[in-house]
Amino acid sequence: MKNTLKNKSTAQLKSNLNMLKAITAALIVVMVLLISITTYGLIVKKEKSTFIALFAVAFSMLGVLPVLFTSMGAIKKKLSQREQ
């Protein structure tokens, strides 16, 4: 990752940072909606197997967030180094 960041221009890094922010926001929104819907389904519906599976999918998406935050941090660090 560091080698690829070194080879990119400042404009490309800013574009990648904005893209990662949008992806992270969209993922969080989808995850919150999915957790809300599955929680409602687990409480209200009799057939719970589908909602249990969806609940597992929602929580498995949590594993992607640290990678996104790490990538955003690396890009921010590289941009701040270039500004100095």
Q: Per-residue pLDDT tens, the chain, 84 aa: give them.
A: 556 788 888 899 999 999 999 999 999 999 999 999 999 998 998 888 888 888 888 888 889 999 999 999 999 999 998 887
Q: Is residue 84 in a domain? A: no
Residue 31 in tokens = 């995850």
What does each C-alpha distance from 9 to 33, 51, 71, 72, 80 come to in angstroms? 36, 45, 16, 16, 13
Count of the separate structural domains present in the chain: 1
Q: Is residue 34 in a domain? A: yes
At 31 the pLDDT is: 92
Q: Is residue 39 in a domain? A: yes
State which residues form the domain around 14: 9-79
Q: Is residue 18 in a domain? A: yes
Q: Torsion angle, CA of 20/24/27/31, rounded to 10 degrees?
A: 170
pTM score, two decimals?
Answer: 0.81
Q: Is residue 4 in a domain? A: no
If phi > 0 it is left, if psi is from -120 to 50 it is alpha, else beta; for residue 45 that is: beta
Alpha-carbon Rg for the chain in angstroms = 18
At 49 the pLDDT is: 85
